[in-house]
Each structure stands twice: as C-alpha cells, then as structure tokens.
Amino acid sequence: MEIKYDKNRIIKILKDKKIKVTPNRFKVAFELFNSDEHPSVDELHQKLVKSNETQISFTSVYNIVKLFESAGLVKEILIENKIHYDSNITPHAHFICKNCGKVQDIELDKLNFLDEKELINFKTFTEEELKDNKIDSVEINFFGICGECLKEEKE
C-alpha cells in the first residue's frame, strides 16, 4: 500500500473536522485514506484485524466510518447492493469490473468526452424534469471487465 497520508496529515485532517483523534479512529483513517480500494465496512474491519496487534470491533469500525462520512471525509458508494466507502471525495467516476468486483477511480479530466466544469455545475441544472428537485451529487459508473480479468481469460 502506497502511503499517501502519513500520521501527521491524518491527525490534521481529523482535527480540522473537529474529530477527536483516538487510536481506533486513527487506524481506520490510516487504512481508509491510504487505500486505492473502495472497501466495505466488513472488508475494512477484516483488514484492520489482520494487520494490527489490537482488536477493534466491527461496530467500532462501522461507527467510525459513519462519523467520517458525516464529516465529509469519505463517501458511500453502492455497488451491487453492497455499500463501499471512498476516501476520494473529489469529483470522479468509477470503473467496476463485473467479474471480480474491483472498483477503480477514473479522474474526470481523463474522460475527453466529459467536461468536468459542466458536470460540477450540473447541480444547478434546470431541465424540466428536475426543476422542483435539488441535486446533491452525481455518480458516473462504467461497468465492464478489468484488465486483470481480461488477461486471465486469455491465458
């Protein structure tokens, strides 16, 4: 795992959001913020239990992730009726492999057919069907077979 967020940066992020830094909150933040994966609470809990000497309950992990979500540090994404969490809260799309379920982030500026500024301004979209609604967010998901699965299929 590439460490994008070191101890000091994580502590600053939590304190900036007025979240008291506890050992468990730090551990969850470290795993979640440094992950390129989009783990469910169960996957995050399993990883923490395997990688740490101390025990942390599933309920603690769930409550901490929900605290981070309410603070705007992570967002919930629904993939095949299962909730996953994404620490990349900047506007981006996802590629979801139909074989293995792997989720990859796709930066919007790499999608030539999509204008990121228009997408961000989409919140003020006033088309007839949406005139009485307020859009909070937009999700773009691409579904297909990832490169790793394609490679395995060829072998």
Binding residues for Zn(2+): 97, 100, 146, 149
User: Which helix (H) or strand (E) segment is 96 a member of?
Assistant: strand 92-97
Q: Known binding site: residues?
A: 97, 100, 146, 149
Q: How far apart (Å, rounded) are the C-alpha atoms in residues 51 and 54?
A: 9
Exposed/middle/buried for 75, CB within 10 Å: 0-12, 13-18, 19+? Answer: middle
Checking 132-139 for CB contacts under 8 A at 24+ apart, the result is 137/75, 138/91, 139/77, 139/93, 139/94
Pair of tokens at residue 153? 């299929």
